[in-house]
Amino acid sequence: MPSIFTKIVNREIPAKIEHEDEFCIVIHDIHPKAPVHLLIVPKKEIPTIMEAADEDQQLLGHLLLVARNMGQKLGLEGYKLQFNVGSKGGQEIFHILLHLMGG
């Protein structure tokens, strides 16, 4: 069964999209923990960082560069990046994503 984030990528569920490219989509968190709270979601559905494969290295690096670009675009002077990994690490939906929080 596809995750909620795969459904957003496929436009089955609406979201406020800030950026999209061939590898990922950046959306606004619906329950923000900071004035700016974006979710950088890979289009490839990987349940957790623990399940990422060596072949996902380029994709994971891309997420970090997109975070950098979003911080610059939004004029953030500093921000926090966060992966929640596994249920014991606070992950609620099993599709990896990178949180960008700032402002």
Number of domains making up the chain: 1
Predicted model pTM = 0.94
What is the span of the domain harbouring residue 45?
4-102
**Rounded Cα distance, 13 and 82, in Å:** 24
| Residue length of the chain | 103
At 80, which helix (H) or strand (E)? Answer: strand 79-82
Q: Residue 17's beta-bridge partner residues? A: 27
Residues 13-62 have pLDDT tens digits of: 999 999 999 999 999 999 999 999 999 999 999 999 999 999 999 999 99
User: What CATH number has the domain bearing residue 83?
Assistant: 3.30.428.10
